[in-house]
Amino acid sequence: MAKVCFVTGKKPISGNRVSHANNKKRRRFEPNLQWKRIWVPSENRFIRLRVSARGLKTIDKKGVERVLLDAAKQGRKR
């Protein structure tokens, strides 16, 4: 399964691990993803989403209905 946030679209990025001696080696920065059960009042059921911590804050701010509508417009499926 891909490590992508459903709400924000965040995914792993790459960068350098830099030692004290300034040696550089490639590494991955993973998003902070969580599986969450979120209640959707219009459907009268829970949905299970893989969201980042930032995505959870977005859901709290905008509301789950609007977030799902925006995701559908962008072509993301749950």
Answer yes or no: is 8 within a domain.
Answer: no
Task: Decide: 3 and 12 in contact? Cβ < 8 Å.
Answer: yes
pLDDT at 1: 67
Give dist(CA 40, CA 78) in Å, integer.
13
pLDDT at 69: 94
φ and ψ at 25, to 5 degrees?
A: -140, 140
**Which pair of tokens denotes residue 1?**
């399964």
| Domains held by the chain: number | 1
**Per-residue pLDDT tens for 5-43?**
999 999 999 999 999 999 999 999 999 999 999 999 999
Answer yes or no: is 3 within a domain.
Answer: no
Chain length of the chain: 78
CATH code for the domain of 25? 2.30.170.40
